[in-house]
């Protein structure tokens, strides 16, 4: 591929990185368990849209600002951490489910919310921006005259493999959602657990350097 070297090594490394559990994995599992398959798929697609944003920003050189400006990195980091903590608090302190309110949110709104939340959690994580800026250039020919196109091609490859894995996670986690709907006490416990994980992820992001 023009301007790219070690493409299949990049694909293999990208798949291994996608398989590594992280903030996105926890978010997709949480949305699948609390909102069902459509919410999980929407969350996965939202995260992919966020990755597209990071790819474009890195290709245009704007992500370099986060890499060189401590203030910009800190601002984005704390906004992202605050958003994760907000999502976690909503689940952690939500009213307990009962038999009458155990049904999932209406399909017309829950997937849309999960999609937008997926975009925001990904975009507001400065580590993702730095990852694209640091990882992808290693597979671009230094002398290539089409570095931007090569960067976009690598980004599209990574996003595609990542989306496939995220969809697998969403479908797998959603298979358990019906059980939680039939058992509201267990569903409440899951909501509290997922909320606690979001709070922990937010705190971890806030304290990261």
125: domain range?
A: 7-14+24-97+106-207
> Does residue 19 belong to any structural domain of this protein?
no
Residue 31 and residue 36: Cα distance in Å, rounded?
A: 7
Distance CA 199, CA 22 (A): 14
Task: Tell whether 1 is covered by a domain.
Answer: no
Task: Say what the pLDDT of residue 109 is.
Answer: 47
Report the domain count for the chain.
Answer: 1
Q: What is the pLDDT of residue 180?
A: 64
- Helix ranges, the chain (H): 7-19, 23-35, 37-59, 63-68, 70-92, 110-123, 126-135, 147-174, 177-182, 184-207
Give the whole-number percent of the chain exceeding pLDDT 70. Answer: 80
Residue 113 within a domain: yes
Query: Is 115 among the domain residues?
Result: yes
pLDDT value of residue 46: 95
- Condensed to tens digits (0 to 9), the pLDDT of residues 104-130 reads 444 444 889 999 999 998 888 877 877
Helix (H, G, I), strand (E, B) or coil at 4: strand
- Mean pLDDT computed over 175-183: 69
Question: Would you state the pLDDT for residue 185?
Answer: 67
Cα(27)–Cα(47) distance, integer angstroms: 9
Q: What pLDDT is recorded for position 183?
A: 63
Q: How far apart are the first and last CA of the chain?
A: 36
Measure the CA angle with vertex 25, ends 165 and 48; round to 5°.
Answer: 60
Q: Could you give the CA distance from residue 113 to residue 27 in angstroms, rounded to a whole number?
A: 13
pLDDT of residue 9: 86
Average pLDDT, the chain: 79
Task: Please state, for a pLDDT cut of 90, what percent of the chain lies above it.
Answer: 20
CA distance 20 to 56: 23
Identify the weakest region by mean pLDDT among 37-46, 74-83, 94-103, 159-168.
94-103
The C-alpha angle with vertex 199 and arms to 194 and 204, in degrees rounded to 5, equals 120
């Amino acid at each position: 591929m023009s301007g790219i070297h070690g493409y299949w090594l990049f694909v293999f490394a990208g798949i291994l990185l996608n398989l590594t559990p992280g903030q996105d994995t926890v978010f997709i599992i949480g949305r699948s368990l609390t909102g069902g398959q459509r919410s999980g798929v929407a969350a996965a697609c939202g995260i992919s849209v966020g990755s597209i944003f990071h790819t474009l920003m890195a290709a245009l050189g704007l992500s370099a600002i986060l890499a060189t400006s401590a203030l910009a990195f800190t601002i984005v980091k704390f906004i992202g951490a605050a958003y994760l903590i907000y999502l976690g608090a909503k689940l952690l302190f939500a009213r307990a489910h009962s038999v009458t309110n155990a049904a999932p949110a209406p399909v017309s709104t829950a997937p849309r919310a999960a999609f937008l939340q997926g975009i925001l959690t990904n975009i507001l994580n400065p580590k993702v921006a730095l990852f694209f800026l640091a990882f992808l250039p290693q597979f671009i020919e230094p002398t290539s005259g089409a570095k931007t196109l090569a960067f976009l091609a690598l980004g599209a490859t990574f996003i595609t493999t990542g989306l496939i894995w995220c969809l697998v996670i969403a479908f797998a986690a959603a298979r358990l959602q019906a059980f939680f709907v039939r058992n509201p006490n267990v569903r409440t416990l899951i909501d509290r657990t997922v909320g606690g994980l979001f709070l922990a992820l937010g705190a971890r992001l806030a304290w990261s350097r």
